[in-house]
Amino acid sequence: MTLQEIAQEMLKDINRYATTKEVDIPQLIQVRTHKKYRINKKWKKRYGMKVVYKKQKAKVADITVNDVIEFCIEKGLPIPDEFMQRGE
């Protein structure tokens, strides 16, 4: 198995390897708005859009080399070639 496939297998049990963090997610909003659609379109073209960052909780995976090797041993999978080449 490749490292990519092993990482996908590990993330099926995301609670084991992921932590919850607050992440800033960018959103585009119109600078000025008008209640009429045709005017709103013109204002969008004239005044443009701006980026607003919204805080949202998200699960962030933190997988180390030791976690991958532990997972491979636990599941009886071969250790990926990427790790074997680095040791040489």
Tell me what pLDDT residue 43 has.
Answer: 95
Rounded average pLDDT over 54-81: 83
45 pLDDT tier (thresholds 50, 70, 90):
very high
85 pLDDT tier (thresholds 50, 70, 90):
low
Tell me what pLDDT residue 81 has.
Answer: 74
Q: What is the DSSP string of 58-84?
A: EEEE---HHHHHHHHHHHTPPPPHHHH
**CA 73 centroid distance within chain:** 27
Does the predicted TM-score (pTM) go above 0.85? no
Beta carbons within 8 Å of 49's beta carbon, 6+ residues apart: 28, 29, 30, 31
Domain boundaries, the chain: 3-86
Residues paired with residue 20 on neighbouring β-strands, in sequence order: 59
Within 13 Å, how many C-alpha atoms sit on residue 72's CB side? 19
9 pLDDT tier (thresholds 50, 70, 90):
confident
